[in-house]
Structure 1
Amino acid sequence: MTADHLVLAGGGHSHALMLRRWAMRPQLRPAGLITLINRHSTTLYSGMVPGLIAGHYRHSEIAIDLRRLTDRAGVALIIAEITAVEAHHNRLLLAQRPPIHFQRISFDVGAETFNKGPYLERSQAALAMPIKPLEPALAWLEQQDSQVLLNDSTPLTVIGAGLAGVEVALALRHRWPKRPLNLQAHHGQPRPALKQALSKAAIVIVPSGTPLSGPALLCTGSQAPAWLATSGFPVDPLGRVRTTKTLQVINHPHCFAVGDCAVIDKAQRPAAGVWAVQAAKPLAQNLERLSRRQPTRPWQPQQLALQILGGQLSSGRFTAWAFWGNLIIGPHPWLWYWKEAIDRRFMGSFNELPSMSGVLKRQESMACRGCAAKLAEKPLNDALKQAGLGALGQQPEDAALIASTSSGDSLLQSVDGFPALISDPWLNGRLTTLHACSDLWASGAHVISAQAVITLPKVSSELQQELLVQTLKGIQSTLEPQGAKLIGGHTLEARSIPPQPINLGIQLTLSVNGKVASGRVPWSKGKLQSGDVLLLSRPIGSGVIFAAAMAGEAHPEDLDAALAQMTISQHNLLTALRSLEERHTGMQTIHACTDITGFGLLGHLGEMLSASNHQRHRAGLQPLRLLLEAAAIPSLQGALLLLKAGYSSTLAPANRRNWHLLNPSINGEAAPIEIALNDVTPGSEHHQALLELMVDPQTCGPLLLACSTKIASELLRDGPWQRIGQVQPM
C-alpha cells in the first residue's frame, strides 16, 4: 500500500528525529498521509530538563517546535490527548475528538512516573507530584516558587534516589538555595560518589517511606501510559509495549513502538534517552522500506549507554558525573561543559531545517491561508461594479435578510469559507464554521442550520473518507452547542496536485442560516450614532502570527495562544447581548455591529463609517468620524513583535489602502478615523506596528459593536469587551 495513513502517536525523541530526517531529505518520506498526534505543540528534550528545573535554561531553549518540524516534513499535526488504541480496528481514540483511523502507526508517547511501589502511604499520595509527564510537573514547580518567595520553610522531598532523582534534587537546590530539601532513598542509595555532593548541597537523605511533612516530587522510575496496557498489545511488567528487533509490535506488524513506552523483547534496555535517539534511524528506515514494499530489517541497540548527570558544587559552579555501567567518572566541571555541548548540539540540529525565514518579510510573499486568502477589497468592488452589482459592495452587510416568517421571525443567511488554515482537518472544520457563523452573530442572529461544500484533495478514497469524517465532525462541534444542524451540502474532488500534507488540500465553504426572533431587529453595520462607544470582543493579530508560522518564525506559545482564542465560540456573546436588550425594553441597545475578518480592523471600521454616513447624508444629518485609542487596541500575544520584525499576511498590502482613512482631506477636514497615540511616538516602530495591526486580516476574529455609554459600562463590567474608541460628529 503506497497511499496509506501513517500515524505517529507521540512527539518523543525518536519521532522528532525521524521528522527532521524527512524534512532534510524529503525524498525518503513515506508516501501517503502522515499525521503526528501529540498533547502539546512542543516536546521537551529530556536531557536538558534538569537544567531547566535549575534555571540554567529557558523553556524555549529545550523545546522542539513540532509545528515547524511537521510543516517542513510535510506531515499533519494534531494537538490532542490520546486515550486508547484499538489495534484490531486501526483506530486511535482521542479526548473530546473523533477517532483517527490508520493503516500503520508508530508509538513514541513517552512514559509516566512509576507509582505502584511502596513509596507513599495512601493518605499522603495527594502531596506528591509525579515528575512525568513533564509539563504538569514543571507547572507545579512554578507554583512552589511562590511558596519560596513567601519564605516558607516547609521542606520539599524528592522521592526516589536513582540517577534521575539525584539530578532533580541537585537542580532544585540551584533553583532554591535556601529551601529545606530531602531525598527519600532505599537502603544503599544513592551511590556513594553522589552522597558527598548531596551533603554539600544540604540535601538531607531520609529512608524510603519516611512520612512527608510537605510537598514531594515523585522520581520513582517510569512506566508506559496506562492506556497502552489496555490496548491488547503484549506489554512487560512496566506496561511497555514489547516489540521485535524491527521495532514492530509482537503479533501486530503494522504497529511500531519506540522510546520509553516500548522495549525490544530480545534486547531489553532501561528507559533512557540515548536509546530513543538511536532508535530514530532504524525506525525511519523500516517505515520507509514498508512504503516501498520492502521487508523491514532488525536493529541491535548497544548494550550499555553513557549517562552524564549534571549538578552543582557548593561553590555554585556546575559539575557532572559520567556513568558507564558500574564505572563512575567525576565530578568534574569539564564533564558539565561536555554534556552542555552535546545537549545544545542536539537542539541546534532542529534549527538546521530548510529555512523559509524572510520569505514573508516586507514585499516578499507566500500565499497565506484562512481568511487571508480572501480577495482584496479593490478588485472585489471593481468586479461587482462591472457585473452590475455595485450596490453589494457599497453597503455590505454581514448577513442578508432573506425572509420573514408568519410569526414575525427574521431569517438571515451568510456564506463564508477558505482553504484549510491548518493541517488538522477536525480543527480546521471547527475554525471555518466558527468564522462563517460570526457573520450571523454580528447581525444579531442565532444560527439554526448550515450547508457545506467540501473540496477534498485527489487521493485514495480511504483517505478522502477519513478527511471528510474529520471535517464533518469539526463542523458539528461548532453547530451542535448552538442548537444548529448541518442539513446538507456537496462534496468535490480537487483537480490540482495535493500539497504536503494532503490535509491542506481541503477547502470548506459554508452557507449558514440564522434567525432573529419576532420583536427584535437584525443588527446593521451602518447605524452608528454620535457619542457611541466602540467595543471589541477580543484581541487581533492572527493574520501575522500564521504568516510568520509559515516562515517558521512564530513562537510556538504565540501560535498556541492564537489558536486557543480562535477555537472559542462567540455565540455566547450573542446570547448575552440579546439578554441585555431584554433588560432594556424599548431601548435600542446595540446601534451597529460587525465582525473583524479579512479586511482587518481598519477596513471593517471603514465599512461601518461609510454605511452610517451614507444613511445620514440621505437623512440630512451631520457625518460622523471615529476616534480610536492606540493603547486600547488589544493584540494577540506576539503579534506586535512580529509586525515590528517585518512579517505580514499576504492580504495586508491590499488592506493598507485603507490607511487613507487616517489622513485629513485636502480641504483640511478632519480624518474620518483618527488614532489618539498618547504615549506612542508618531512615526516610531511601535506606531508603524499599530498601523499594520489595524490592517491585519483576521480568521475567527472579534465582534465589534457600537452602543451608548450606559450600555458600554454594563458590557465592560460583565463581559470580555475592550473599549477601543468612540464615535464623534465630523
Structure 2
Amino acid sequence: MEAPTPVTQDLVLIGGGHSHAIALRMWGMNPIPGARLTLITDVMHTPYSGMLPGYVAGLYEFDECHIDLRPLARFAGVRLIGDRAVGLDLAQNRVLCAHHPAIAFDWLSIDIGSTPAVSTVPGAAEYAIPVKPISQFLTQWEAIVQQVSEQPQRPLRLGIVGGGAGGVELALNIRARLRQVLQQAGHLDTPLEIHLVHRGREILPERSPGMRRKMQHILAQRGIQLHLGETVAAVEPDGLRCESGRWIECDRPFWVTQASAASWLKESGLATDDRGFIQVNDCLQSISHPYVFAAGDVATMVRHPRPKAGVFAVRQGKPLVENLRRALLGQPPKPFVPQKEFLILVGLGDCTAVASRGPLHVGPTPWFWQWKDRIDRRFMEKFSNLPEMRSQRVERRTFAPSRRASNSLPCAGCGSKIGSQPLDRALQRVQAEYPALQRDDILIGLDTPDDAAAVEVPAGWVLLQTVDYFRALVDDPFVFGQIAANHALSDLFAMGASPQSALAIATLPYATPAKQEEMLVHLLAGATKVLHAAGAVLMGGHTVEGAELALGFACNGLAESSQLLPKGGLRPGDVLILTKPLGTGTLFAAEMQRRAKGRWIEGAITTMLQSNQTAAKIFQGHGAHACTDVTGFGLLGHLVEMLRASEPVGVQLDLSALPLLPGAAETLQQGFRSSLHPQNLAAACWVRDWEQRSPSRSSEIPADILFDPQTAGGLLGCVPAETAPDCLSALHQAGYLESRAVAQVIPSEGDVAPQGWSQRSVRLV
C-alpha cells in the first residue's frame, strides 16, 4: 500500500475573478500533493467582462457569458466556500468571513475585483446602480428590462455616470436592448432617453483622440445625450444634480465611475495605494506580506501600473498560478511584466464593433464583432469543456517538516483516532463561538472528562434515539456539518419529538494535526449551529482519520408517548403533504461528474439547510395522523413504509404535483442516478400497473424521481382532508414554499402486493 499524502499546506483563494478562474483550471490539470486549495466566493457564477455588454444587449444567454465556479472547483479538487470575506487576521493567517468561522491559510491569493466609488457622492449609495459587483448590477438590469417589457408605453429616462470605456459601451448596449424590447412590444415610438455624464472634457480618456471622436459621433448618432465636463454632486430619486447647477432628469442612474477597493483590505494591514488596492510586486506578491498574492482589479502593480481592465486580469492568470505553485514548492517566484498597449473591441449592441489599439481605430463593422465573439467564446470554452480527467503528471515533493509521520501508513484501530490536542483545541474554539446550551436533563456532557454522557428522561416521557452517518456531499465542512445535523434530527422531528442531545462521529481526511483542527472546528461549528437552534446539546463523540470527510450523529429526543407521530396512521380520505422539493440524489450524482449547473447545486444546498422542526410542529397542530422524513429510500420507499405500517389502504399519488428542485428533471432525463437509486427501484412493485407505464407520460415530472434518495429531505405528513388547506398555508407562511399536497389516502382496492406483505397499492395519476 502507498501511504496517503496528508494535507500539509493550505492555499486559500478569495474571489472567483478571471485570474482565479484560470488558476483553478490550471491547478486541476496539475495539482501538488499535500497542498489543499480553498476558494471563498459569494458569487458562484463569474461574469466574463468581455461578454457582459453583449449580455446586456441580449446577444448572449446567462450561461454563455458566466463561468460556473462549482464544476470548475470540483474539476480542480478545490474546497468551495460560499461566503463573503470581510477581513483578514494576518497575525494568525486567517480569513474572516461573514457567515463562516475564520478560515486558516498558509498562502493567500485575492481576486475580488473592484467597486465604483459611490460613497463620496450624496445619494449615490441609495439611488444609483453600481455596475460592480456585476451580479448585483445584472439583477437590477433585468428588473428594468422586465419593467419595460410589461409597460412598454411608459417613457424611460436612464443616466450613466462615467465616460470611460465601460460607461460608453454600457450606454450603447443598454440602448440596443431596450429598443429591441420596445420593438417586440410594438412601442418603438415610446420616448427613451439615455444620458451619459462625464466629468472630463472628452470621453474615453485612456484611448486615442481619434477613437474618442469616433465614439462620440456614434453616441450622438444613436441619440445618447452627452454631458461632458459635468461632475455629479448629488443623486436624487428622480435625477442627477451636477456641481455646475445642471439638473439631469432620469429614473435610474448607472454608476460606472473610477473604481475603489473593499475597505477591509487596507484595514487588515496590507500595503495599499491611495484608492485601497493591494500593492504588489512584479511577482504579484503583496509588498508588505509576501505570502499574500493579488491579481485583477484589486491589485496594483507598483512598478507597472495599468488600467482596471479585464484584459490584464486574464493575462495575470498564468503567472499567478506559476508563482503560487512555486510558493508551495519552496521555489523563488518569477517576475511578470504586463503589456503596455492592448487591443479593445467595443461592441455597439447591434452585432458590430469598433477596434482600437494605441493610436489606431477601425470600425464599426460586423467583422470586428464576429472576431470579438470568437475570442470571447474561445475563452469561455476553456471553462465549459473541461478535460474528463486530471493529468496524472503531478509534482512530487515530501513535506517532511510538517508531516506527523513521514511516509508511514495510517494506523487502524485506536491508532486512527484524532490526537487529543487538536481535538481539545477544536472543541474549545467551537464552544467559544457557540457556548454550550444549559439543559437540566444533561447530567454528564462535554464539560466533564467522563467516558460516557449521561442524560435524564422526565417521568411520563419517552426517549427516542436515531443515528445517521454519511460521507460529505459538499466540500465546505461548515455547510456539511449543518446538513448532516439537519438530516439526523429529521428522524426525531418526523416522530413528533423534541431534540435533547447528540453524539457525533466524524472521519477527517489525513492531514497534519493543525489542519485537522481547522477542519474539525468548521465541521462541529456547523453542526452545533443547527443543534443549538433545535434545542439540542452536543454531548461528545468520536473522531477518526480516513480517506474522506464523513460525519454522523446519534441523536436523542424526548416526547410524550401520546404525542408520538408514527408512520402507520394513514386513513382513507387523508391528504399527504410533502414539505420540500425532491432531487438531491440525481443533482449530486450529476455534480460528481461536473454536469450539474452550479445554481442547481446551490438551490439543493439551500433546501438541505432548512430544518424540518417547524414543519413537524405545523403537522401536529393540524391533526396529523402519520409522518415520516423523506431521505435515502426516496419518496416511494418511505411512502411504502407508511403503507406497510398502516391498516390496508391505498394511495393515489399525483406525480404532476411533486415539487422538484431546479435542474432535477434535466439531470434525471440525462440519466444521472444516485448509486442507491437501483435498490430503491424495488419499491416500484407497489405501484399499480408500473410495468405497463409508458416512460413518455408526464414528461415534466419524470417518474424516476420517486426513487431518488434525498439528503436532509422534507417531511411527508398525513393530515385530515379538512385541515390540509390550512396546513399548507401555514407551511408556506413558515418558509416551506415548495410544500405540496401530493397524494390522497384511498380505501384498499384489494391489489396483491409483494408476497408476505398485506394488500396495499399506490396508484399514480
TM-score (norm 1): 0.84
TM-score (norm 2): 0.80
The equivalent of 2:166 in structure 1 is 164
The equivalent of 1:586 in structure 2 is none
The equivalent of 2:195 in structure 1 is 182
1:449 corresponds, among 491, 495, 501, to 501
- Percent identity of the aligned residues? 38
Q: What is the DSSP-based 3-state SS (H/G/I as helix, E as strand, rest coil) of the residue aligned with 1:594?
A: strand
Shift of residue 519, structure 1, vs aligned partner: 7.3
- State which drifts further: 468-477 or 180-189: 180-189
Alignment CA distance shift 1:656-1:687 (3 Å): farther
Q: Report if aligned partners of 2:462, 2:561 keep a CA contact under 8 Å in 1.
A: no
The equivalent of 2:491 in structure 1 is 439
The equivalent of 1:197 in structure 2 is 218
Shift of residue 116, structure 1, vs aligned partner: 5.4
Shift of residue 232, structure 1, vs aligned partner: 0.7
1:534 and 1:544 mapped to 2: Cα distance?
23
Q: What is the DSSP-based 3-state SS (H/G/I as helix, E as strand, rest coil) of the residue aligned with 1:250?
A: coil
Within 5 Å, which residues of 2 pair with 1:640-659? Answer: 640-659=665-684
Alignment CA distance shift 1:125-1:594 (3 Å): closer
Q: Report if aligned partners of 2:567, 2:641 keep a CA contact under 8 Å in 1.
A: yes
2:313 and 2:654 mapped to 1: Cα distance?
53
1:17 and 1:41 mapped to 2: Cα distance?
15
Shift of residue 644, structure 1, vs aligned partner: 1.5
1:714 and 1:506 mapped to 2: Cα distance?
42
Q: Report if aligned partners of 2:13, 2:38 keep a CA contact under 8 Å in 1.
A: yes
1:147 and 1:74 mapped to 2: Cα distance?
42
1:708 corresponds, among 720, 723, 729, to 720
The equivalent of 1:592 in structure 2 is 626
The equivalent of 1:530 in structure 2 is 572
2:298 and 2:158 mapped to 1: Cα distance?
29
Q: Report if aligned partners of 2:658, 2:701 keep a CA contact under 8 Å in 1.
A: no
Alignment CA distance shift 1:304-1:482 (3 Å): same
Q: Report if aligned partners of 1:449, 1:485 keep a CA contact under 8 Å in 2.
A: yes
- Note if 1:545 corresponds to 2:592: no
The equivalent of 1:603 in structure 2 is 637
2:119 and 2:627 mapped to 1: Cα distance?
58
Q: Deviations over 1:167-187 (max 9, x none)?
A: 000010011115211111224
1:489 and 1:546 mapped to 2: Cα distance?
28
The equivalent of 2:479 in structure 1 is 427
Alignment CA distance shift 1:75-1:409 (3 Å): same
* Aligned-CA RMSD value: 2.2
- Note if 1:138 corresponds to 2:138: yes
Within 5 Å, which residues of 2 pair with 1:399-418? Answer: 405-418=457-470
Q: Report if aligned partners of 1:356, 1:551 keep a CA contact under 8 Å in 2.
A: no
Alignment CA distance shift 1:662-1:356 (3 Å): farther
Q: Deviations over 1:2-52 (max 9, x none)?
A: 8211101111111111111122x22x5463211011112221111111111
Within 5 Å, which residues of 2 pair with 1:119-268? Answer: 120=121, 122-123=122-123, 125-149=125-149, 150=151, 151-177=153-179, 179-190=192-203, 191-207=212-228, 208=230, 209=232, 210=242, 211-213=247-249, 214-268=251-305
The equivalent of 2:21 in structure 1 is 16
Equivalent position amino acid for 1:68 in 2: P
2:146 and 2:509 mapped to 1: Cα distance?
52
Q: What is the DSSP-based 3-state SS (H/G/I as helix, E as strand, rest coil) of the residue aligned with 1:70?
A: helix
Equivalent position amino acid for 1:58 in 2: E
Q: What is the DSSP-based 3-state SS (H/G/I as helix, E as strand, rest coil) of the residue aligned with 1:46?
A: coil
Q: Report if aligned partners of 1:2, 1:292 keep a CA contact under 8 Å in 2.
A: no
2:313 and 2:299 mapped to 1: Cα distance?
10
Equivalent position amino acid for 1:353 in 2: L
2:105 and 2:460 mapped to 1: Cα distance?
50
The equivalent of 1:375 in structure 2 is none
The equivalent of 1:343 in structure 2 is 376
1:303 and 1:690 mapped to 2: Cα distance?
56
Shift of residue 67, structure 1, vs aligned partner: 1.1
Shift of residue 325, structure 1, vs aligned partner: 3.2
* Structure 2 unaligned regions, length at least 5: 1-5, 180-189, 204-211, 233-241, 391-453, 733-738, 749-765
Q: Report if aligned partners of 1:83, 1:95 keep a CA contact under 8 Å in 2.
A: yes
Q: What is the DSSP-based 3-state SS (H/G/I as helix, E as strand, rest coil) of the residue aligned with 2:675?
A: coil
2:248 and 2:126 mapped to 1: Cα distance?
11
Shift of residue 722, structure 1, vs aligned partner: 1.0
1:123 and 1:68 mapped to 2: Cα distance?
40
The equivalent of 1:45 in structure 2 is 48
2:704 and 2:113 mapped to 1: Cα distance?
42
Q: Deviations over 1:594-628 (max 9, x none)?
A: 0000110010011110111xxx4xxxxxx211111
1:650 and 1:637 mapped to 2: Cα distance?
21
Off by >6 Å, runs of 4+ in structure 1: none
The equivalent of 1:397 in structure 2 is none
1:481 and 1:257 mapped to 2: Cα distance?
38
Equivalent position amino acid for 1:336 in 2: W
1:170 and 1:350 mapped to 2: Cα distance?
28
Q: Report if aligned partners of 1:537, 1:702 keep a CA contact under 8 Å in 2.
A: yes
Shift of residue 331, structure 1, vs aligned partner: 2.3
Shift of residue 356, structure 1, vs aligned partner: 7.3
The equivalent of 1:398 in structure 2 is none
Q: What is the DSSP-based 3-state SS (H/G/I as helix, E as strand, rest coil) of the residue aligned with 2:702?
A: helix
Equivalent position amino acid for 1:237 in 2: D
Shift of residue 138, structure 1, vs aligned partner: 0.7
Shift of residue 322, structure 1, vs aligned partner: 2.1
The equivalent of 2:535 in structure 1 is 483
Shift of residue 408, structure 1, vs aligned partner: 1.9
2:701 and 2:720 mapped to 1: Cα distance?
30
Q: Deviations over 1:676-706 (max 9, x none)?
A: xxxxx94316469632100000001110011
Alignment CA distance shift 1:594-1:459 (3 Å): same
2:327 and 2:141 mapped to 1: Cα distance?
44
Q: Deviations over 1:123-181 (max 9, x none)?
A: 46522111000111111112212332313313010111111100000010011115211
1:322 and 1:406 mapped to 2: Cα distance?
79
Shift of residue 718, structure 1, vs aligned partner: 2.1
* Structure 1 unaligned regions, length at least 5: 358-401, 499-504, 582-588, 617-622, 665-670, 676-680
The equivalent of 1:727 in structure 2 is 745
Shift of residue 663, structure 1, vs aligned partner: 3.4
Equivalent position amino acid for 2:14 in 1: A
Shift of residue 526, structure 1, vs aligned partner: 1.1
2:99 and 2:27 mapped to 1: Cα distance?
30
1:197 and 1:688 mapped to 2: Cα distance?
47
Equivalent position amino acid for 2:145 in 1: D
The equivalent of 1:395 in structure 2 is none
1:493 corresponds, among 523, 534, 545, to 545
1:514 corresponds, among 532, 540, 557, to 557
1:96 and 1:576 mapped to 2: Cα distance?
29
The equivalent of 1:333 in structure 2 is 366
1:689 and 1:195 mapped to 2: Cα distance?
53
Q: Deviations over 1:479-519 (max 9, x none)?
A: 1212222111111112xxx4xxxxxx111110111122x47
- State which drifts further: 266-275 or 204-213: 204-213
The equivalent of 1:396 in structure 2 is none
2:686 and 2:365 mapped to 1: Cα distance?
66
Equivalent position amino acid for 1:595 in 2: D
Alignment CA distance shift 1:544-1:707 (3 Å): same
Q: Deviations over 1:317-348 (max 9, x none)?
A: 42222222343332222211111111010001
2:220 and 2:478 mapped to 1: Cα distance?
54
2:605 corresponds, among 563, 566, 590, to 563
- Count of residues in Structure 1 that have an aligned counterpart in Structure 2: 637
Q: Deviations over 1:81-110 (max 9, x none)?
A: 111112222110111211101111000111
Q: Report if aligned partners of 1:404, 1:411 keep a CA contact under 8 Å in 2.
A: no
Shift of residue 451, structure 1, vs aligned partner: 1.0
